[in-house]
Chain A
Amino acid sequence: MGNVDEDTPAPRRRPYDLTLPTPPDALRRGPLREGTFSSRLHDPRTAVVLGRWLGAALLTCFLTGLFSHLVQDPPPWLADRLPSRPAIGYQVTQGLHVISGIAAIPLLGAKLWTVYPKLFEWPPVRSVLHALERLGIAVLVGAMLLELFTGLFNTLQWYPWPFPFRQTHFWLGWLATGGLLLHVAAKAPLIGQHWRRPRPGLAQRRAFLTAVGASVAAVTVTTAGQSVPWLRALDLLAPRRPGLGPQGLPVNRTAAQAGTAAAPADWRLRVDGPQPYELTMDQLLAMPQHEADLPIACVEGWSASARWSGVRVADLLARAGAPASARLRVTSLEADGPYRVMDMPATYARDPLTLLALRVNGEVLAPDHGYPARIIAPNRPGVLQTKWVARMEAL
């Protein structure tokens, strides 16, 4: 038998496990030899400390991502229970999603470096259970690497891979989190043993963990400004800078990209319901105008607040004779696009902050922000703040 690592307790014999033979020692070459990795930081205590940080980041990513998914695509039983407040809810959760995802990049790197020698442990597989555990770790690491890579590149709207981003990122999130739970369960005794700081501490480890913490801090302060207002001045590496864009707001999809650069001269808003009607821009402007300070909060993590003004969606629906429990379907002027038609649960549609906005920051909407009219609602992802509205329908 090969030597057992001093930090790894000798595996207990399990009646349901099947021991596998050790390959001949002649095959133990290259990094498989003992003593290849000399750093004292390839130890369980370092792995436990980094694992706690990484686990917290991954769980934050998973929960905020799940929330985002449910808000974007709610199952029928949930749709009318989604709260429209707090108004900045989605801005916070999605900002946190991207912040914790970016923080996970150095944490995953450091964690994988720490446990790298385990990749070359000898014998490569001791038993069937051990083989399954190693396979599980491969799935976990593969899913995590691809998850962070696709997430980061999505914030750049850069898609070099052949599969769809949103669905893949969603399902890989389940795989990564499931893999994490299995990993924690498998390593529970080892984690328990090294949960507390050993005395005396290791200066080398302190230096390493400080450097990893500094990396998280550096990458956070230079990117988080895309969603955290007081860090905006330090937003140097993030793909968006709130404040940069037409009327001081970034744009996810431009009017040119959507084919709506010029609104039709005879544009009218059509509202369907028990008493359908149409309104010209002048008639809309003659209705009571309301103001709301609301953020555009994009799924890609950036967000920017603005003062919107226009007609309350609830007023428009009431005028069509729709009950307060009515849901809303909004159709855009765009010819195509996955968000051309948007459904809004009743909780949002009757919220007084939800507007059919005609102006932003005191100016008529720029084409890139949805001229002639756009939806702006509290606690909603940006892609559901439909621009270039042509039709509203009470359901």
Chain B
Amino acid sequence: MARTPRPPRLPRLLRLLTAVGGLALTAYGLHGLLNDHYITAPLDIVEWAVGGLILHDGLWVPVVCAVGALRVRGPVLRGWLIVAATLTAVGLPAALRAGTDSGNPTLLPLPYLRNLLLVLAVTGVVAALWAGTAALLRRRRTGHR
């Protein structure tokens, strides 16, 4: 393998078209957001978008970086933490909302907190088995040599 493949280059025209398309879609979205009859206060949306940015970049990612800096041991534990954070992001709102009586028993009909904890536990066990198997294989391989 003497020759490394040349990185493919998007032709200039395609890049230009993508940029023009992006500008057009952005302009259309902005125009719609500002002129939609149902949206009476577009600034509310800006506030929530900026609030989301601040919460995500100012609070959530620093926490993730801090956990990472604690030198969480092993790729499997790190991996499970990513899986657990994802499951929590999706499952926790349902668990928090499930207690509210919406007047519709078919909305949020499951025990969501129990299910979330169950899924976290199952993925945790899978991760532990994975780590255990990997360690065993490693030991056996070094043992053979």
A interface with B by C-beta (< 8 Å): 37, 39, 102, 105-106, 109-110, 112-113, 116, 119, 138-139, 141-143, 145-146, 149, 152-153, 156-158, 161-164, 166-168, 170-186, 188-189, 191-196, 199, 204, 207-208, 210-212, 214-216, 218-219, 222-223, 236-241, 244-246, 249-254, 256-257
Contact = CB atoms under 8 A, between A and B. Distances in A.
B106 interface: yes
B93 A152 contact: yes
A245 to B, nearest CB: 4
Contacts of A179: 22, 26
Contact of B53 (A138, A214, A219): A138
Interface string B49-79: 1101100110001001100100000010011
Nearest to B103: A257
Interface in B59-115: 61, 64-65, 68, 75, 78-80, 82-83, 85-87, 89-91, 93-94, 97, 102-110, 112, 115
A218 B87 CA distance: 7
A168 B45 contact: yes
Contacts, number: 223
Given A106-B86, A175-B26, A218 B123 contact: yes
A198 B25 CA distance: 34
Interface residues of B, number: 69
Contact of B41 (A106, A138, A163, A166): A163
A249 to B, nearest CB: 8
Interface of B: 1, 5, 7-10, 15-16, 18-19, 21-30, 32-33, 36, 38-39, 41, 44-45, 48-50, 52-53, 56-57, 61, 64-65, 68, 75, 78-80, 82-83, 85-87, 89-91, 93-94, 97, 102-110, 112, 115-116, 118-119, 123
